[in-house]
Every structure is written in C-alpha cells, then in structure tokens.
Amino acid sequence: MTDLSAFPITARWPAAHPDRIQLYSLPTPNGVKASIMLEETGLPYEVHLVDFAQDDQKSDAFVSLNPNGKIPAMIDPDGPGGAPIGLFESGAILLYLAEKTGRFLGEGSMDRWRAIQWVMFQMGGVGPMFGQLGFFNKFAGKDWEDKRPRDRYVAEAKRLLGVMDGVLGGKTWFLGEAYSIADVSMIGWVNNLITFYEAREIVGFDDYPNVAAWLERGLARPAVQRGLKIPARG
C-alpha cells in the first residue's frame, strides 16, 4: 500500500485510497480548476473538503502542504520517478496534470506555450480582477460609499473580457479547435462572475458574445459539469 504518512495533511484528512491522487479543495473558481481537470483526464482521485467556515485552510495540517493557506492543493502518490509529490497553486496543478497525462496542451511545443500563456493570463489577470470585483459588487465592498474601487475592477474586468472576446472570435477554444488547460483555467472564473458574483449587468457581459458562446460550450462538457460541484459542500 502507498505510504503518504510523510505528508502531515493526511493525518487531518486520512486517505481511504492512498494509491490515488489526493485533492484538498472547495468548489471555488480556483478549486474547480483542479476538479475539472481531474474529471477531464479521468485520473483516479480522492477528494477532501477544505471547509472555509471552519478555517480549515489555515490549519497546521493544510498549511503543511500549502504554506500559502489557499485551495486547491494535492498529493500525487505517483509523482516524477514514482515518488509522491505535493503541489499547490491551481495553475501549477493544471500544468502538472496536463504533462502527466499528455493531454490538454494542444499539439506540439507551439500549442503548449500558447496554452501556458493563457493560464498565466488567467492567474495574473482574470482571477485577481474578477475576484476583487466580486468583493466590491456582492460582499462587504458593496456597502462602501466610495465606488471608485469597485469601478476600477469593473473597468479592468471589462478590459479582460474584451481581450478574451477578441481572441475567441472564430474559435471554439483558446487554442482554436483544441480544448486545453487555457479553457479549464477560466471557465470557473467567468461562470462565477455572472452567477455567484452577480456581475453580469455591471460588466455588460452580453457585449462579449464570443466569450458567452465559449462559456456555454465549456459548461456543456460533462466533466466541467461534474467538476464544478466537486467537492460537494457539506
């Protein structure tokens, strides 16, 4: 049997199937990147709910795997050279799983780098900016009298959507006809923007028809539908 005892997190969240990938997550826009990718690849995995309401992500056990205290994080018992590896940061997890399976990186080195650049675009732009907009549009920030912070993130969200809309013109996915980690990285964030964050009107989402059509295609994928609900909230 695979021994994962070197990872302290497994004492808090024991592995029923230590020979499988262990995913520690919550169905947030970052968390579902990992669950969607695992569902798309078909790799066997075991999921553990990290409950924000209980501050699980700040626990010593979780921080032992991700010192940044953010989800998702994972352990692959069959890492490089067959040794277990622990990973955090959703973008790194996407790249790792794509290279492990040889899938969702397009065809050849050119596509690989094109996919990676869009993942970096999501990590550096879409995620942080959409997340800040969500705070100012739906959560505590909505009550602030000064609307300049909100408007700053609205403007940046619109700019990013414009970039995406222009690139997606005449394309099925960000790499053209090849679905990739570029798409996986962004589906949850764009979906969250217009649903959970309730920002469809404020960003004028319907002004970006190529993004809307791309999102519809993404949400129609069975693996995406499953991944968006993993792990199930208690």
Q: What is the pTM of this model?
A: 0.96
Cα-Cα-Cα-Cα dihedral of 55, 57, 5, 11, to 10°? 10
Last residue of a domain, one of 82, 103, 124: 103
pLDDT for the residue 18: 97
Residue 158 is predicted with a pLDDT of 98
Q: Are residues 29 and 96 in the same domain?
A: yes
Structure confidence at residue 234 (pLDDT): 67
Amino acid making up residue 164: M
Residue 64 sits in a domain of what CATH number? 3.40.30.10
Cβ atoms 149, 85 nearer than 8 A: no
- 92 and 113 inside one domain: no
Q: Is 177 a domain residue? A: yes
C-alpha–C-alpha distance, residues 93 and 78, integer Å: 14
Which pLDDT score is estimated for 141? 87
Does residue 96 sit in the same domain as residue 128? no
Q: How long, in residues, is the chain?
A: 234
Helices 148-168 and 127-138: angle between axes, nearest 10 degrees: 140
SS3 21: strand
Q: How confident is the chain (234 residues) per 10-residue block, as mean pLDDT? A: 91 97 98 98 98 92 97 97 97 98 95 98 98 94 90 98 98 98 98 97 98 98 98 83
CA distance 23 to 86: 10
Cα(185)–Cα(188) distance, rounded to whole angstroms?
7
How many C-beta atoms surround the C-beta of residue 185 within 10 A?
Answer: 28
Which position has the token pair 């794509």? 98
pLDDT of res. 191: 98
Look at residue 1 in the predicted model and tell me its pLDDT: 65
Parent domain of 136: 108-221
Looking at the 3D structure of the chain, how many domains does it have? 2
Short-list 201, 122, 194, CA closest to 160: 122
Verify that 214 and 112 share a domain, yes or no.
yes
Nearest to 50 by CA among 230, 217, 218: 230
Domain boundary among 44, 74, 103: 103
Whether residues 112 and 217 share a domain: the answer is yes
In a domain, 214, yes or no: yes
Q: What is the CATH number of the domain that holds 210?
A: 1.20.1050.10
Beta bridge partners of 21: 45
> Which of these three, 58, 79, 103, is where a domain ends?
103
Q: Are residues 53 and 117 in the same domain?
A: no
